[in-house]
Amino acid sequence: MSSATSTTGTNTTSSRRKRVVVFDYGFGNVRSAERALARTGAEVEITHDYDRALNADGLLVPGVGAFAACMKGLTKARGDWIIDRRLSGGRPVMGICVGMQVLFARGIEHGVQTEGLDEWPGTVGPLKADVVPHMGWNTVDAPADSQLFAGLDPESRYYFVHSYAAHEWTLETANPAMRAPKVAWSTHGERFVAAVENGALWATQFHPEKSGDAGAQLLTNWIETL
């Protein structure tokens, strides 16, 4: 259940292409993610194989649909164990859309609470806006020293499709020697978390694989850190 497809790109930072696994657990735009990552020059594989996902240079976890369904699919494929083991060893993981949401402690949909991966404290809940879902292009307010958004115009727009989001960021770094998380925000009706850089764990609520040149640059920035 794996396929390796990519072509040599122009944005590589070393002679060895970075090997990235797009984790296929049944809930994500895996082909779109594969194509977008291939643009960065990475060697991309779509698989749910435990060892290959665990040992890749980078692991990308997509996600679409309901929080509870994604969590069920992810745990069935042992994705929760893979993510935890990678992060324990400081190995990069990136979540996209619901693949970001499940990194929080819990999600609430239609009044039903589902436990998340609890990599970050907090709850993912409904967006309060005149129009839901939030579907289309929007700007992101990113920290000035962000690595994820490095080289990108602050007015760049990214593609969002979601009805739920994390509305607060509560994780604080107690150890001053540790790098504090970088949190980017966007607004649709209300302010919500749009992206996070937290050590080896990065994530976006929007879809970089559908965000044109800005999304391609963002993924390149991630690949260059692997």
- Tens digit of pLDDT for each residue in 56-68? 999 999 999 999 9
Tell me which of 43, 45, 197, 209 is the catalytic residue: 209
- Tens digit of pLDDT for each residue in 118-127? 999 999 999 9
The pLDDT value given to residue 1:
41
Q: Which residues contact 10 (CB under 8 A, 6 or more apart)?
A: 41
Per-residue pLDDT for 14 more than 70? no
The pLDDT value given to residue 178:
67
Percentage of the chain beyond pLDDT 70 is 91
Q: What is the CATH number of the domain that holds 15?
A: 3.40.50.880
Percentage of the chain beyond pLDDT 90 is 88
Terminus-to-terminus CA distance in the chain, angstroms? 25
**Count of domains forming the chain:** 1
94-122 b/e with 16+ CB inside 10 Å = b?
bbbbbbbbbbbbbbebeeeebebbebbeb
Per the listing, tokens 């770094």 go with 173
Per-residue pLDDT for 7 more than 50? no
Q: pTM score, two decimals?
A: 0.91
Residues 47/2, Cβ–Cβ less than 8 Å: yes
Q: Please tell me the least confidently modeled range out of 10-19, 99-108, 199-208.
A: 10-19
Known active-site residue 97: yes
The pLDDT value given to residue 174:
56
Burial class (CB in 10 A: 0-12, 13-18, 19+), 147: middle
| Per-residue confidence band for 181, with pLDDT thresholds at 50, 70 and 90 | very high
- Tens digit of pLDDT for each residue in 137-159? 999 999 999 999 999 999 999 99
Backbone angles phi and psi of 28, in degrees to 5: 180, 160
Q: In angstroms, rounded to a whole number, what is the distance separating the alpha carbons of residues 16 and 69?
A: 37
Tell me which of 48, 134, 162, 207 is the catalytic residue: 207
Burial class (CB in 10 A: 0-12, 13-18, 19+), 151: exposed
What is the extent of the structural domain holding 41? 3-223
The pLDDT value given to residue 173:
67
Per-residue pLDDT for 13 more than 50? no
- Tens digit of pLDDT for each residue in 67-94? 999 999 999 999 999 999 999 999 999 9
The pLDDT value given to residue 176:
59
Tell me which of 45, 70, 97, 134 is the catalytic residue: 97
Q: Which residues contact 104 (CB under 8 A, 6 or more apart)?
A: 116, 117, 118, 119, 120, 121, 122, 123, 124, 166
Known active-site residue 190: no
Tell me which of 4 and 50 has the higher pLDDT. 50
Best CA proximity match to 61, nearest among 117, 135, 132, 138: 117
Q: In angstroms, rounded to a whole number, what is the distance separating the alpha carbons of residues 121 and 62?
A: 20
Known active-site residue 209: yes
